[in-house]
Amino acid sequence: MQTMNGYGRMLEAQTVLHQRYQIVRLIGQGGMGAVYEAVDQTLGNTVALKQTLLSRQWLPTQHAQLSRAFEREARLLASLRHRALPRVIDYFVNEDGQFLVMDYIVGTDLGVLLEQHVEPFALPDVLCWMDQLLDVLDYLHTHEPAVIHRDIKPRNLKLTQRGDIILLDFGLARQQRSPGQRQSSSIVGYTLHYAPLEQIQGSGTDARSDLYALAATIYHLLTRVAPPDVLTRATMVMAQQTDPLVPLSVLDPRIPSALSDLVLPSMAITAADRPASAATMRATLQAIRHRSGRPSTDQSVAQADARTADSATGAVVSTTRPFVSAADSKNAQHSLPPPPLPLAEPWPAPMPPAHTVQQQRLPLLVPLILIVSGIFLMVCALIGLFFTSNSAINDVVRYPGVACHCSVFSHMMTFL
């Protein structure tokens, strides 16, 4: 049975839409819509179908605004071409709402992976994802007109089975008609931990707003600690208190300070204090990764073997550190574009406990000390005998045994 949900309705499996797309299952449902896995019956491939769901509690003006926003998302995505973005295949409207048909991305979103993994993600993986995201942000921000995503967060990033990141959900995205133009607020949303102050205040977003959200996302992935929201930070800073945003390298000393020095300024409360562009940020990131050199291909492949496919999700995730990311191993095997470089400061290998080191040295040390002191005592005894040879003879005659030893000992002590 189909459930009515405002103007649109949730769709059941097997429903065929637009005489072409057969619903397989519901993938996700948000405040504004639902996403389904479906089969394109014409071409036989799997697609993702995004549907708007309007609530009857909303005003007609809000309905109109949301419909326009959804249509804008479809048109915007259709105009973009980048390997980190899903391709738009179709767009249509029917009695169940508006529908956006796009590539179905197999994988798991990083929000789900964050919940599943007890350990923070491996640093090389996160740096590789960060590089891919800065690349797509550079593409969007330098597009004509520039596109500001405005909703970068782990939940909107999908990790494919090949270890690539795909940026989803352009529901909040805006086009920037002129370079200096800042985008006004939208009717719905942002996610507090990742949103910059200018987006929350509605004072206008630009490319640096996406850099804030990206840096906040990386912060969360590296530390598993959700960054404090910018409103709390701004309030504390204004009250002359310390910014509660703890540097990455303080939270985890294994994180290179150079990386911390890149991520933290990108989360500056004031947009003007952030890096100027995704390209600038990416150049700094690449310098950090270049500094430690590149592991040999053998090493990459061996390390790549240490990773496993997450059985629950199908996404490729790391099991050990340090190692090379999935994208690295893929590149190593197929000679595709340059593999991401390893870390500027590799994860230090854990130091063996001090007592283990002492235990390893002790067996050698004890016999050595015994031999040296034995030789020393013998030399002393000989020297003592030499000096006492005359007087000791008399003593030995009178007090054999004891006298001899006492005399030799006393001379030894004198010598010492």
Ligand X SMILES: Nc1ncnc2c1ncn2[C@@H]1O[C@H](COP(=O)(O)OP(=O)(O)O)[C@@H](O)[C@H]1O
Our CB check for Mg ion shows the closer of 194 and 323 to be 194
Cβ atoms of 2 and 17 closer than 8 Å:
no
Q: Is-contact 271 209, C-beta < 8 A?
A: yes
The partner in contact with residue 247, picked from Mg ion, ligand X, none with C-beta cut-offs of 5 to 8 angstroms by kind, is none
Asked if residue 147 lies in contact with residue 301, where contact means CB atoms within 8 angstroms, the answer is no
Measured CA to CA, the distance from residue 256 to residue 156 in angstroms comes to: 26
Among 10, 24, 26, 27, binds ligand X (CB under 6 A): 27
Q: Which of 169, 229, 310, 328 binds Mg ion (CB under 5 A)?
A: 169
278 near ligand X (CB under 6 A): no
Q: Which residue is nearest to ligand X (CB)?
A: 30
Is residue 108 involved in binding Mg ion (CB under 5 A)? no
Among 156, 205, 217, 260, binds Mg ion (CB under 5 A): 156
Q: Least distance in Å: CB of 173 to Mg ion? A: 11
Alpha-carbon torsion 190, 193, 196, 197, what sign? positive
Select from ligand X, Mg ion, none the partner in contact with residue 327, using the beta carbon and a kind-dependent cut-off of 5 to 8 Å: none
* Dist. CA 333–CA 327, nearest whole Å: 10
Can the peptide bond before residue 322 be classed as cis, meaning omega within 30 degrees of 0? yes
Cβ closer to Mg ion: 159 or 332?
159
In sequence order, what E strands does 104-228 have? 107-109, 146-148, 157-160, 165-167, 174-176
Written as one string, the DSSP assignment of 156-177 is GEEEETTS-EEE---TT-EEES
The two structure tokens encoding residue 28: 């996700």
Q: Nearer to Mg ion by C-beta: 156 or 303?
A: 156
| Shortest Cβ 27–Mg ion spacing (Å) | 11
> Which residues lie below 8 Å from residue 359, measured CB to CB, with a gap of 6+?
none
Nearest residue (CB) to Mg ion, 156 versus 325:
156
Which one of ligand X, Mg ion, none is in contact with 165 (Cβ closer than 5 to 8 A by kind)? none
CA distance 308 to 181: 45
Between 6 and 30, name the residue whose CB sits nearer to ligand X: 30
Q: Of 125, 131, 169, 229, which lies in the binding site for ligand X, with binding defined by CB under 6 A?
A: 169
CB-based burial label for 4 (10 Å; 0-12, 13-18, 19+):
exposed
Shorter beta-carbon distance to Mg ion: residue 158 or 411: 158
Q: Is 217 in the site for Mg ion (CB under 5 A)?
A: no
- Among 158, 282, 307, 330, which residue interacts with ligand X (rule: CB under 6 A)? 158
Q: How far is CA 286 from the centre of its chain?
A: 15
Site for ligand X in 105-124 (CB under 6 A): 105, 109
- Of 17, 77, 167, 168, the one binding ligand X (CB under 6 A) is 168
Return the number of the residue (33 or 120) whose C-beta is nearest ligand X: 33
Q: Does residue 173 interact with ligand X by CB under 6 A? A: no
Beta-carbon count within 10 A of 270 CB? 11
Task: For 320, list phi and psi in degrees, rounded to 5.
Answer: -135, 165
Q: Which residues contact Mg ion by CB under 5 A?
A: 156, 169
Q: Which residues contact ligand X by CB under 6 A?
A: 27-28, 30, 32-33, 35, 48, 50, 86, 102-105, 109, 156, 158, 168-169, 171
